[in-house]
Amino acid sequence: MSVKRALYSELSRLYRVTSLLGTNAKLKSPDLYLESMAPESATYPRVTMQVTQRDRMRHMTGSIGLVDGRVGLTISATTSLGADKVAEVIRLVFENGAYHQTTLGHGEDIITVSDIYIDNDFDNTLAPIDGSGSAVYQRIQELVIWYRESLT
């Protein structure tokens, strides 16, 4: 099971997150993407994600099945306030202790989680290259997800 797919599955089912996102007219779904880049048809605000680390814990006897994973979430919006609003809801979802020693995801996209927390959180602004468009404001969050992998 992919940590990214489980996180996507979880976030896409949380109305308090998806209600703040734009809607992709072509896909008829919230603008939440498994990849680090969104398609041109994406609207704002939107969330993209990428796995930045998968450190598999080891013991002298071999793997113990615990992964220290990191997933970067990039929340993009046309205003700084819009990006902050979505980021704050995501922070509250994962920092309330609901994902401690439980599962993350739905259906086939489930992983067993030991803990999730936001380790890093910062702002970024993408200015238009030629000055013709509007700036894009970003809030970037790095989630640490400790989860179990099957050793079979």
How high is the mean pLDDT of the chain? Answer: 84
Q: Model-level pTM?
A: 0.84
Tens of pLDDT, residues 41-76: 788 899 999 988 888 777 777 677 788 899 999 999
Mean pLDDT, residues 123-131 = 82
Q: What is the C-alpha separation between 64 and 114, in angstroms, rounded?
A: 13
**What is the domain range of residue 56?**
3-148
Residue 97: give its domain's CATH number. Answer: 3.30.70
What is the secondary structure of 90-109 as a DSSP string?
HHHHHSSSTTSSEEEEETTE
The count of structural domains within the chain is 1
Percent of the chain at pLDDT above 70?
A: 92
